[in-house]
Chain A
Amino acid sequence: DAKTTQPPSMDCAEGRAANLPCNHSTISGNEYVYWYRQIHSQGPQYIIHGLKNNETNEMASLIITEDRKSSTLILPHATLRDTAVYYCIVRALYNFNKFYFGSGTKLNVKP
């Protein structure tokens, strides 16, 4: 599976958009990009995933570059409850759905 690189931490003001980048330059054609977040001492929570098109749901938007080597998770209006570690994961379609987590980005939403 492709390795992902994320900044270790980011700050965001409450109410502003949080843009979390992820680099996955070795991604191959059948690998999806997934985003999860983990609030302290809880199990990871699914946010969104995509293959090559941009995706949006009630939680966030996922922007994948045309070459698919990087992506950005956008939380449009961050709240204090969005403070968490955000993980970007690349998964091959038929690799038994295995996920290999990287180190993630700690997002600090500040009042």
Chain B
Amino acid sequence: GAVVSQHPSWVICKSGTSVKIECRSLDFQATTMFWYRQFPKQSLMLMATSNEGSKATYEQGVEKDKFLINHASLTLSTLTVTSAHPEDSSFYICSATRRGRTTDTQYFGPGTRLTVL
């Protein structure tokens, strides 16, 4: 149990376009979902925390107008990279914690590789 999926697994887009990445909890309801970014040979960097039905909270230095997060249901969160540029090329990973379990661990998706040309 506790499976998280992401779609797409990889995407290539042109500079200036917007890209939407979906994160779904397949077999549980997620109170909170998280979005991370990982550049090559670096660790994961937390971008934002997303709670169902409320606005996402962003980590310091992350532009909320550029990385739009929507958590419309207890099983789905989306990250939209607006007006993408080559420097936004990265590996984006989401994770989720199960509803009602405050001490629960995070379950991670497989990641989405974004390449902006």
Q: Choose, from B68-76, B80-88, B107-115, the stretch at the interface.
A: B107-115
User: What are the residues of chain B within 8 A of A43 when measuring CB–CB?
Assistant: 4, 6, 93, 95, 108-111
Contact B34 A98 (CB under 8 A): yes
A 12-37 contacts with B by CB, 8 A: 32, 34, 36
B65 on interface, CB distance cutoff 8 Å: no
User: What are the residues of chain B within 8 A of A42 when measuring CB–CB?
Assistant: 110-111
User: What are the residues of chain B within 8 A of A44 when measuring CB–CB?
Assistant: 44, 93, 95, 108
Q: How far is the CB of B81 from chain A (nearest CB, A)?
A: 18
User: What are the residues of chain B within 8 A of A103 when measuring CB–CB?
Assistant: 43
B 33-84 contacts with A by CB, 8 A: 34, 36, 43-46, 49
A49 on interface, CB distance cutoff 8 Å: yes
Given contact pairs A43-B111, A49-B105, A98 touches B46 in the complex (Cβ within 8 A):
yes
A 56-102 contacts with B by CB, 8 A: 87, 93-94, 96-102
B97 on interface, CB distance cutoff 8 Å: yes
User: What are the residues of chain A within 8 A of B34 when measuring CB–CB?
Assistant: 97-99
Contact B104 A97 (CB under 8 A): yes
Interface residues of A (CB under 8 A from B): 32, 34, 36, 38, 41-46, 49, 87, 93-94, 96-104
Interface residues of B (CB under 8 A from A): 4, 6, 32, 34, 36, 43-46, 49, 91, 93, 95, 97, 102-111, 113
